[in-house]
C-alpha cells in the first residue's frame, strides 16, 4: 500500500512538472507603443553603459522605451574632466547602442553647475568662461550632431523663487550665459531640439513663473530655446499640480517634456495623473523615466520607478498601459 501511494505521488509530481502552466509573467511591451499611439513622440528612460550591461534591463529598454537619456556619461565631469581633454568612451557606447536599437536620444547636459570639474568652477574671467563654454559645447554637441533628438543645454539654473541660481556661469556672465550656451549648441547641432531643464516645476509655482519669464527674455532675440524640460522627481501624492505646470510652461509656445520622471512609492494614481497631464497638453511631447527599475535608481529606497528590483512591472505600469491602450 505504501509503495502504491509513493508511486501515485511520484506520478502526480511528474504530471505537475510536465504539464503545469509556466509561472504567470505580466505582459510588457506596452508603454512606449501605447504612449506613441496617443500622438506622443516617445517614452524614454535614463540609461548608461552600466545599465545597458544588465540583460533584464536591456530587454525592457528594448520592449518598453522609445528613447534614452545618458544618466551621467554626457555631463561635463565625464566628457571634459580636464580642459580641452575630451573623453567620449561611455557616451559613445550609449549613443551607439541607442542608434543600433532604433532609440531616440535626449542629450543631458551641456551647462550645469553640478558634476562640473573644478577647473571650470574656478574661472573668474568672462571672456575665458565664454570661450570655455563654447569649446565644450562645440566638441560635445558637435560630436553627436545629427544623432540626438534633443539636448538639455542648460540644466537647473533657477532658484525656487524663480530667480537665477548662483553658479560660476551666472556669477561671471550673468543671464547671458544662457544665450551663449544655446547659440553654441545651435551652431554645433542644427537639428537637435534645444531644451532648458529644471526640477520642482511640478505645479504652477514661482519657479514655473520664473522659467516662463526667463525663456521669454532669452527668446526675445530669436528662438534659441525650443523646449522646456520638467524633471518631475515627485514625492508620493505629488502629481496633483502636474497638468497646471505643463499648461503654464506650454503657454510659452515651446515644446514641453517630462525629462526625469520618478515618483516615491510609484503609486498607480500618481503615475496616471502625470500621464493624463501630458496627454492633456498637446505640446507635451515626451516622458522620460529616470531609470527602468528600482534596482538602478538614484533614489532606490523610494522605489519610484515602473519596474521593481526584479525588473517586474508594478501596478503603476499596468495602470499606465491600460490608460494608454
Ligand atoms: O563615476 C564615479 C565613479 O568613478 C566613482 O567610483 C563613484 C564613487 O562614488 O562615483 C561615480 O560617480 C557617481 C555618478 O553618479 C556615476 O555613477 C557619483 O558619485 C554620483 O553622485 C552620481 O549620481 C548621479 C547624480 O545625478 C549626480 O548629480 C546620479 O547617478 C544621476 O541619476 C543624477 O541625475 C540627476 C540629473 O542629472 C539632473 N537632475 C537630478 C538627477 C538626480 O539627482
Q: Is 115 in the pocket of ligand 1 (CB under 6 A)?
A: yes
The more confident residue out of 21 and 302 is: 302
Please compute the mean of the pLDDT values over residues 198-219 and round it to a whole number: 98
At 26, the pLDDT band (50, 70, 90 cuts) reads: confident
Q: Which atom of ligand 1 is nearest to 46's Cα?
A: 32
Closest CA to 255 of 281, 233, 273, 294: 281
Mean pLDDT of the chain: 94
Q: String of b and e for 159-182 (b: at least 16 CB within 10 Å)? A: eeebebeebbbbebbeeebbbbbb
Q: What pLDDT, on the 0 to 100 scale, is given for residue 24?
A: 55
Q: What pLDDT, on the 0 to 100 scale, is given for residue 256?
A: 98
* 175 is a catalytic site residue: no
At 1, the pLDDT band (50, 70, 90 cuts) reads: very low
Radius of gyration of the chain (CA): 23
Q: What pLDDT, on the 0 to 100 scale, is given for residue 20?
A: 52
Please compute the mean of the pLDDT values over residues 111-121 and round it to a whole number: 98
Q: Is the pTM of this model over 0.85?
A: yes
Q: What pLDDT, on the 0 to 100 scale, is given for residue 23?
A: 52
At 21, the pLDDT band (50, 70, 90 cuts) reads: low
What pLDDT, in 10s, does the model give residues 96-105? 999 999 999 9
Please compute the mean of the pLDDT values over residues 310-320 and round it to a whole number: 98
Q: Is 87 in the pocket of ligand 1 (CB under 6 A)?
A: no
Please compute the mean of the pLDDT values over residues 17-43 and round it to a whole number: 81
| Ordered alpha helix ranges (H), 194-265 | 206-218, 242-250
Q: Is 89 in the pocket of ligand 1 (CB under 6 A)?
A: no
Q: What pLDDT, on the 0 to 100 scale, is given for residue 196?
A: 99
> Would you say 67 and 103 are in contact if contact means Cβ atoms under 8 Å apart?
yes
Closest CA to 210 of 286, 274, 153, 157: 157
In whole angstroms, give the CA distance from residue 78 to residue 283: 32
If residue 284 lies in a helix (H) or strand (E), which one and from where to where?
Answer: strand 284-289
What pLDDT, in 10s, does the model give residues 162-172? 999 999 999 99
Grid cell at residue 173: 556672465
In whole angstroms, give the CA distance from residue 173 to residue 78: 24
279 CA to centre of ligand 1 in angstroms: 31
200 CA to centre of ligand 1 in angstroms: 19
Q: Whose CA is nearest to atom 22 of ligand 1?
A: 72
72 CA to centre of ligand 1 in angstroms: 6
Q: What pLDDT, on the 0 to 100 scale, is given for residue 13?
A: 45
Looking at the predicted structure, is the pLDDT value of residue 318 above 70? yes
- In percent, the amount of the chain with pLDDT more than 90 equals 92
Q: Is 81 in the pocket of ligand 1 (CB under 6 A)?
A: no
Q: Which atom of ligand 1 is nearest to 75's Cα?
A: 37
62 CA to centre of ligand 1 in angstroms: 24
Looking at the predicted structure, is the pLDDT value of residue 14 above 80? no
In whole angstroms, give the CA distance from residue 140 to residue 135: 9
At 33, the pLDDT band (50, 70, 90 cuts) reads: very high
110 CA to centre of ligand 1 in angstroms: 15
Residue of 71, 80, 156, 260 marked active site: 260
At 220, the pLDDT band (50, 70, 90 cuts) reads: very high
Please compute the mean of the pLDDT values over residues 62-79 and round it to a whole number: 98
Q: What pLDDT, on the 0 to 100 scale, is given for residue 11?
A: 45
Please compute the mean of the pLDDT values over residues 143-149 and round it to a whole number: 98
Q: Whose CA is nearest to atom 11 of ligand 1?
A: 72
Please compute the mean of the pLDDT values over residues 31-35 and round it to a whole number: 98
If residue 107 lies in a helix (H) or strand (E), which one and from where to where?
Answer: strand 104-112
Amino acid at each position: 500500500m505504501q509503495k502504491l501511494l509513493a508511486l501515485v505521488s511520484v506520478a502526480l509530481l511528474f504530471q505537475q512538472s510536465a504539464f503545469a502552466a509556466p509561472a504567470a509573467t505580466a505582459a510588457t511591451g506596452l508603454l512606449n507603443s501605447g504612449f506613441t499611439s496617443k500622438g506622443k513622440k516617445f517614452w524614454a528612460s535614463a540609461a548608461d553603459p552600466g545599465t545597458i550591461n544588465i540583460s533584464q534591463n536591456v530587454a525592457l529598454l528594448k520592449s518598453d522605451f522609445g528613447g534614452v537619456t545618458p544618466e551621467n556619461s554626457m555631463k561635463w565631469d565625464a566628457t571634459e574632466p580636464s580642459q580641452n581633454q575630451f573623453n567620449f568612451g561611455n557616451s559613445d557606447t550609449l549613443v551607439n547602442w541607442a542608434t543600433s536599437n532604433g532609440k531616440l536620444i535626449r542629450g543631458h547636459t551641456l551647462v550645469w553647475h553640478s558634476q562640473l570639474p573644478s577647473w571650470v568652477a574656478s574661472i573668474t574671467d568672462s571672456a575665458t568662461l565664454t570661450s570655455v563654454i563654447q569649446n565644450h559645447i562645440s566638441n560635445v554637441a558637435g560630436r553627436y550632431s545629427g544623432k540626438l533628438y534633443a539636448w538639455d543645454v542648460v540644466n537647473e539654473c533657477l532658484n525656487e523663487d524663480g530667480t537665477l541660481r548662483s553658479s560660476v556661469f551666472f556669477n561671471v556672465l550673468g543671464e547671458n550665459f544662457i544665450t551663449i550656451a544655446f547659440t553654441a549648441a545651435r551652431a554645433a547641432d542644427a537639428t537637435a531640439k534645444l531644451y532648458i531643464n529644471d526640477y520642482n516645476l511640478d505645479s504652477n509655482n514661482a519657479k514655473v513663473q520664473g522659467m516662463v519669464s526667463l525663456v521669454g527674455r532669452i527668446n526675445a532675440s530669436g528662438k534659441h530655446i525650443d523646449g522646456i524640460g520638467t524633471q518631475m522627481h515627485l514625492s508620493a501624492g505629488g502629481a496633483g499640480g502636474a497638468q497646471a505646470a505643463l499648461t503654464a510652461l506650454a503657454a510659452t509656445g515651446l515644446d514641453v517634456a517630462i525629462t526625469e520622471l520618478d515618483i516615491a512609492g510609484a503609486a498607480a494614481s500618481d503615475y496616471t495623473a502625470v500621464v493624463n497631464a501630458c496627454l492633456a497638453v498637446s505640446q507635451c511631447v515626451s516622458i522620460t523615466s529616470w531609470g527602468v527599475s528600482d534596482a538602478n535608481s538614484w533614489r532606490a529606497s523610494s522605489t519610484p520607478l515602473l519596474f521593481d528590483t526584479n525588473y517586474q512591472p508594478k501596478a503603476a505600469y499596468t495602470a499606465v498601459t491600460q490608460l494608454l491602450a
